[in-house]
A and B are shown apart, each in its own frame.
Chain A
Amino acid sequence: MIRALLLAIVSLGLIAAEPAPAPDRPLADAAQEARARALFADIRCVVCQHEAIADSPAGIAADMRRLVREEIAAGRSDAQVKADLVRRYGDFVLFTPPLRAATWLLWFGPLSALMAAGVGLLLISRRHRTETVALTPAEEDDLARIVADQAVRPDPDAKPSDD
């Protein structure tokens, strides 16, 4: 009985908990629609968990998509559309975090850490090189004599799988 009732409800199209949002109406101009879609991927659905409005089925996401399309149709640039959204919802609404003093570490932290580590490694390898370079003339002579004595020089560290 309950099953039949549910079946009836489903077939009536009442599957969703909230009323279905108005379906998306793409912009007539293909270039404008492409711009709108690119923007959708960078705009966060403000009530969802880490979802872009491009993906979200939530009603507010549909409203935001309509808003973006309207603004683009009205001839506003991508930057203007984003600025408008940030004014309404805050920085939270964009998946690209803003670049300002508080986010310098976020944007440039990894690269500067990489460069610092690279420079550090270079310095270390320089220091190591000076440790390994100098051989006195007497040592050079010894080395030449040993090399001349031994036709084959076995590498003490080498293993067959080292090749």
Chain B
Amino acid sequence: MIVELGGFALILALALAMLQTGMAVAGRLRRSPVLAGAAEGAALAGAVAVALAFAALIAAFAVSDFSVANVAANSHTDKPMLYKVAAAWGSHEGSLLLWCLVLTGFGAVLSRARGLPFGLKASAVATQGVLGVLFLAFAVFTSNPFARLDPAPFQGASLNPLLQDPALAFHPPLLYCGYVGFSVCFSLAIAALIEGRANSSFWPAWGRWVRPWALASWAFLTVGITLGAFWAYYELGWGGWWFWDPVENASFMPWLAGAALLHSAVVTERRGALAGWTTFLALLAFTFSMLGAFLVRSGVLTSVHAFAVDPERGLMLLAILGATSGAAFALFAWRAPRLKGGGMFAPVSREGALVLNNLFLTAACATVLLGTLYPLILEAANGATISIGPPYFALTFVPLMAAAFVIVPAGPLLAWKRGDLNGVIQRLSVAVGLALLIAFAGWMAFEPKKALSAAGIGLGAWLILGTLAEVVERVRLFRGPLAESLRRARGLPLGAWGTTLAHAGLGVFVLGAVVETGYRIEAARPLAPGQTIEAGKWTVRLDSVRVVEGPNYLAEQGRLTVTLRNGAAPRMVTAERRFFPAGGQTTTEVGLDFRGLDDVYVVLGERGRTEAGAAAWSVRVWWNPWARLIFLGPAIMALGGLLSLLDRRLRFGVGRRRAPS
């Protein structure tokens, strides 16, 4: 019964989205506040309907109602409750419903926004309605999560055990808040293209409306991607955290476009300039979100993370993607040349620095796009198959980003309109000197000596120190009484602290990524209980292996002791190999020993025999120096985004921005 109600609510949501679109368009054309208001009401009601549908699906999973095909295919009575609930968004149908929930939820928040001009708001609500109609229709007609199964099986097929993990339970909702948050930027951009005028007051206001959405989406995406990377790190047991897998790239492209958008929107908000470019990026960010959805769900890419879905649905998604983006960019090509934002600036200025930032970020995004789609294009063109993996991105993407990072600290120090480059260089000279020293210290400290990795350490230090130098400059630290500096620090807008945190967090990430990638040490060999293996300064001893029983799995659990070479600082870790009888799969549970910033990462492999014939388990050990920073950095970046979001300047315009979901 609840399931039927859910299915009904989903269809109702589709009808409401159609109403929302129709009434918003009619309201806009007739300039009728009543019709436009009704459209906003429909947006709210639609969000409630999708939320009800989603709750019904969760309920079906919670009670393991195997008469629902989706539950039978993805759940199992033995699973812990968290993973029963999380399985609701673990499949194609369920995650599409989540996508619709975020889409309509954010649409409802947009419809409650105060202060937007009548025409702009009606057009944005109409656009959001069209997106709702397309995706809800896709869910209702091709991917209904409420389809029944007759006869109902006694037991479900269970969720892929790799996905039964706390980090991955929360990864999709956060990721989708990011992906789909960009839909509001998209709608506001379409509305601006329809309504926008070449007057100087429109674009700063529009920039202020679009920025919070860009910031929030970007911050959600940052946390979502980081959780995903962290999951890959400790769940796959490969010792790495980013593999340039096509699906990882699919989530990374909207992130890059979103980062470019939120920088470019600053220029539009503060100076009214780059209006066309910011609009373009707003369209691009959501286009990449949809492209990601298409790549993951169509089966055109093979990946660890991809939903294995039939090509027919992929074709439908491609049609949605083509129709919305095609129409959007056609509108852009038609209208953008007439929209002049104004706001002139010299090449050396805050605006100039942000343009340069955008140049690098878009080029980086294009690199990832090429690296993801080129194998498909090439195979379609002449049948040749190639693989594009980490070495390609190390040679193309990394240098681009490194060049971009060099200019990051200079940006916030440059004045608007016309900046003083010499002054900025002077003010950053201490940071430059310290960063060079740190690079040299890194070169000396780590073995083997690697010039590029040392340069990377210097770059990370430069990002952190250069960003801090800007704060020091702004609060006039060391140049007056401390009380005066404190007063100034309190007076700085939250947005400025947000920038500082985000840029410093980037530096923290760079330090972690460079050191972990450059200096990690790996060792592997079969160990019988009592034998040891060495990785760098660490010694790992296999103490015992026993069989343990989990809620829905059986595991071989190895107990290992990690010590320094001389036996000091012992600590016990457990690593498991889990066997899930429901699906017949095996997963690894990595043993992680946190040592300050470093990880000692232990994977228990298959059982075999030593040369002497005794039972032995192949054990792989990594010493991952500074791995902690890889995940700490993005967390700091997201916190910076949150701080900026709380800035008073951004708070008016789009009333309350917190999503209801």
* Interfacial residues, chain A to chain B (CB-CB below 8 A): 3, 6-7, 10-11, 13, 15-17, 20, 23-24, 26, 37, 41-42, 44, 49-52, 54-55, 57, 90-98, 102-103, 105-107, 109-111, 113-114, 117-118, 121-122, 125, 128-129, 132, 157, 161-162
Contact = CB atoms under 8 A, between A and B. Distances in A.
Interface string B370-404: 11001100100110111111111000100010000
A50 B363 CA distance: 24
B485 interface: no
A107 B393 CA distance: 10
Interface in B15-30: none
B657 interface: no
Given A10-B556, A15-B586, A92-B385, A20 B303 contact: no
Interface of B: 236, 238-240, 243, 245-246, 270-271, 302-304, 306, 344, 346-347, 355, 359-360, 362-364, 366-367, 370-371, 374-375, 378, 381-382, 384-392, 396, 400, 416-417, 493, 522, 524-526, 547, 549, 554-556, 577, 579, 581, 584, 586, 605-608, 615, 618, 649
Contacts of B579: 6, 10, 15
A95 B391 contact: yes
Contact of A114 (B363, B385, B391, B556): B363
Given A6-B554, A121-B355, A125-B347, A96 B389 contact: yes
Contact of A161 (B304, B363, B493): B493
Contacts of B306: 49
B386 A98 contact: yes
Contacts of B606: 13, 15-16, 20, 57
Given A23-B608, A97-B392, A157-B417, 13 more contacts: A6-B581, A17-B586, A23-B526, A26-B525, A42-B390, A44-B389, A92-B387, A95-B387, A95-B392, A97-B387, A102-B382, A110-B366, A122-B347
Contacts of B362: 117
Contacts of B371: 106
B400 A110 contact: yes
A106 B374 contact: yes
Contacts of A128: 344
Contacts of B374: 97, 103, 105-106
A105 B549 contact: no
State the 7 A-B residue pairs at the shortest beta-carbon distance, nearest first.
A95-B389, A55-B238, A13-B607, A114-B363, A96-B391, A110-B367, A92-B385
A70 to B, nearest CB: 18
Given A105-B370, A117-B363, A91 B386 contact: yes
15 contacts: A10-B547, A10-B554, A13-B607, A17-B586, A20-B606, A23-B526, A44-B387, A49-B304, A49-B306, A50-B304, A54-B238, A103-B378, A103-B386, A111-B363, A114-B359
B386 A7 contact: no
B318 to A, nearest CB: 21
Contacts, number: 147
Contacts of A13: 606-607, 615
Given A10-B579, A49-B304, A132-B344, A24 B524 contact: yes
B370 A42 contact: no
Contacts of B385: 90-92
A54 to B, nearest CB: 8
B386 A52 contact: no
A143 B525 CA distance: 81
B220 to A, nearest CB: 25
Nearest to B585: A17
Nearest to A108: B396
B396 A50 contact: no
A57 B524 CA distance: 13
A18 B34 CA distance: 67
B552 to A, nearest CB: 11
Looking at B239, B306, B360, B606, the one whose CB has the most chain A CB atoms below 10 A away is B606
Given A42-B391, A113-B363, A50 B607 contact: no
A110 B378 CA distance: 17
B586 A114 contact: no
Contact of B359 (A44, A49, A95, A118): A118
A51 B240 CA distance: 11
Q: Which of A26, A44, A52, A132 is packed against the most chain B CB atoms within 10 Å?
A: A52
Given A55-B238, A106-B371, A20 B607 contact: yes
Contacts of B382: 102
Nearest to A13: B607
B546 to A, nearest CB: 9
Contacts of B493: 161
Contacts of A125: 346-347
A126 to B, nearest CB: 9
B363 to A, nearest CB: 4
A106 B524 CA distance: 36
Contacts of B384: 91, 102
A91 B378 CA distance: 12
Contacts of B388: 95, 97, 106
Contacts of A122: 347
